[in-house]
Amino acid sequence: MDGRALAPAGFTNAVSDTHTPVQAVVLVGGEGTRLRPLTLETPKPMVPIMNMPFLERTLRRIKEAGINDVILPAGYLPDAITSYFGDGSRLGLRLRYVIEDTPLGTAGALKNVEQFIDGPFFVLNGDVLTSMDLRAMLAHHREKGGIGTLHLVRVDDPSPFGVVVHDAAGRVEHFVEKPPRDEAPTNEINAGTYLLEREVLDRIPAGRPVSIEREIFPELIRSGDRPLYAYTTDDYWIDLGKPEAYLSAHRHVFEGAMPLGLTPEIDGPGRETIPSSAVRPPVFVGLGCRIAPDSVVGPYTVLGDGCTVESGAVVADSLLWDGVTVERDARIDWAIVASRARIGAGARIGHGAVIGHDAQIPPGAHVEENARVAAER
Ligand code: GTP
């Protein structure tokens, strides 16, 4: 396939200005091991945020920035992604997938889609939720004229992240991976969105796994031809890679820190169906839920489509995916329950627990804090 072919009718294939068209590559090939058992059946990009696959939210954001041409390097459970999004026309996008037989890493995945890249392109980690304005980042990149621009955010504790050191003009000087908190040279971290000139692809070796953070960016700095620039913003940002972050992100959305255009208090397509005696706002309710009037749903709770919450059950601060059943008097607090799981009558689900697809928690069982429970297959 020729990536330089003309875009199909109806697609301008470009942000609407006189510059070279900008494309986007969303990295969606990771196994998402830290989110298991959720990611045993659902690849991380398809994990829902307020009942919508996270990748759909990212693609909508890309579209809103005026970008129409998106390439998705995938590899882990790719069918779940391709069957949901197809050619992208539902979102007004041109989507192309490139499936890796073995994971190529964050830079290897870019090299592998080289034939589809025509000019400068965004790279977005498929597991970052942020309100950063891609158009503003593009304007910054053009103003600076570097070989690439890295989005950075400031965090309280940089120790779990890749710290990026830059000079007063924004030129990136070096990277420090996961520094001890008291040794971190700055609290500005790599936020997982890059804008790169096409020539960066020339620096990536083909045919083997390559990391952009550990190999390519340091190499670009060493070679010193054209600088890499930092673009530090105070936008909302979270890496959804761990269950606690995934839960926290929902709370942030409910509280309005991450704007997703939700109605405060009660939102979702099933909001009319939730009995007022049960609801403790804010909640988000999917379609076709059956909720007993004497149950408690909320606060900070999402019910997917077709969930059942029986009499006396309590679901607070939690995320239930589609078709979950919570039997009478069961209690779920600060936990994630994947699709079709069943929580038996009177069971207790401990804080931070993650219950996988189709798992059956027996009546009266106590699931420990932070437990990971997968269905027996
Ligand atoms: P963990 O296994 O929990 O660390 O998650 P992960 O596999 O997704 O890795 P990580 O969070 O470091 O990945 C960051 C982003 O890069 C995610 O959007 C991944 O989907 C993506 N990614 C990581 N490795 C690869 C790869 O080899 N190929 C492709 N195409 N994408 C990748």
Q: Is 51 in the pocket of ligand 1 (CB under 6 A)?
A: no
Q: Is 123 in the pocket of ligand 1 (CB under 6 A)?
A: no
Q: Is 75 in the pocket of ligand 1 (CB under 6 A)?
A: yes
The answer to the question of residue 49 being in a domain is yes
- For residue 352, count CB atoms less than 10 angstroms from its CB and return exposed for 0-12, middle for 13-18, buried for 19 or more: middle
Q: Which residue among 25, 26, 28 has the greatest number of ligand 1 atoms within 8 angstroms of its CB, and so is best to mutate?
A: 28
275 plus 247 within the same structural domain: no
CATH code: domain of residue 54: 3.90.550.10
Encoded tokens for 290 = 């059956």
How many C-alpha atoms does 138 have within 13 Å on its Cβ side? 22
In sequence order, the β-bridge partners of residue 27 are 125
Q: How far is the CA of 33 from the centre of ligand 1 (A)?
A: 9
The answer to the question of residue 172 being in a domain is yes
Q: Is 160 in the pocket of ligand 1 (CB under 6 A)?
A: no
pLDDT at 265: 87
All residues at 6 or more sequence positions from 222 whose CB lies less than 8 Å from its CB, including other chains = none
Q: How confident is the model at residue 5 (pLDDT cuts 50, 70, 90)?
A: very low
- Mean pLDDT value of segment 137-163: 95
Reply yes or no on whether the pLDDT at 18 is more than 80: no
Which of 269-273, 313-317, 359-363 has the least mean pLDDT? 269-273
Q: Which residue among 106, 110, 194 has the greatest number of ligand 1 atoms within 8 angstroms of its CB, and so is best to mutate?
A: 106
Q: How far is the CA of 337 from the centre of ligand 1 (A)?
A: 23
pLDDT at 338: 97
Q: Are 68 and 11 in contact (CB under 8 A)?
A: yes
Q: How far is the CA of 363 from the centre of ligand 1 (A)?
A: 37
Q: What is the pTM of this model?
A: 0.91
State percent of the chain over pLDDT 90. 85
CA-closest candidate to residue 351, choices 318, 374, 320, 324: 318
Whole-number average pLDDT of the chain: 92
Vertex 6: Cα angle to 62 and 201 (nearest 5)? 60
Q: Are 22 and 121 in contact (CB under 8 A)?
A: yes
pLDDT in tens, 130-141: 999 999 999 999
Q: Is 105 in the pocket of ligand 1 (CB under 6 A)?
A: yes
How far is Cα 361 from Cα 36, in angstroms, rounded to an integer?
17
282 plus 233 within the same structural domain: no
Residue at which a domain ends, from 255, 288, 309 = 255
Q: How far is the CA of 45 from the centre of ligand 1 (A)?
A: 10
147 plus 96 within the same structural domain: yes
Atom of ligand 1 nearest to the CA of 112: 30
In sequence order, the β-bridge partners of residue 73 are 98
In sequence order, the β-bridge partners of residue 373 are 355
Residue nearest to atom 5 of ligand 1 (CA): 32
SS3 of residue 115 by DSSP:
helix
How many C-alpha atoms does 181 have within 13 Å on its Cβ side? 3
Residue nearest to atom 8 of ligand 1 (CA): 30
Sheet architecture: strand order including 314-316: 296-297, 314-316, 331-333, 348-349, 366-367
275 plus 211 within the same structural domain: no
CA distances from 254 to 248, 258, 275 (A): 10, 8, 20
Q: Are 339 and 356 in contact (CB under 8 A)?
A: no
Which structural domain, as residue segments, surrounds residue 60? 2-255
Q: How far is the CA of 110 from the centre of ligand 1 (A)?
A: 12
Residue nearest to atom 1 of ligand 1 (CA): 32
* Number of structural domains in the chain: 2
Q: Is 113 in the pocket of ligand 1 (CB under 6 A)?
A: no
Q: Is 162 in the pocket of ligand 1 (CB under 6 A)?
A: no
Q: Is 286 in the pocket of ligand 1 (CB under 6 A)?
A: no
187 plus 333 within the same structural domain: no
How far is Cα 54 from Cα 129, in angstroms, rounded to an integer?
8
Residue nearest to atom 10 of ligand 1 (CA): 30
Q: How confident is the model at residue 74 (pLDDT cuts 50, 70, 90)?
A: very high
pLDDT at 247: 96
Q: How confident is the model at residue 20 (pLDDT cuts 50, 70, 90)?
A: low
Q: Is 32 in the pocket of ligand 1 (CB under 6 A)?
A: yes
How many C-alpha atoms does 93 have within 13 Å on its Cβ side? 26
The answer to the question of residue 105 being in a domain is yes
Q: How confident is the model at residue 300 (pLDDT cuts 50, 70, 90)?
A: very high
Reply yes or no on whether the pLDDT at 14 is more than 70: no
186 plus 330 within the same structural domain: no
Residue nearest to atom 29 of ligand 1 (CA): 29
CATH code: domain of residue 285: 2.160.10.10
Tell me: cis bond preceding 180? Omega within 30 of 0 counts.
no
| Stretch (H or E) spanning 231 | strand 228-233
CA-closest candidate to residue 186, choices 207, 206, 162: 162
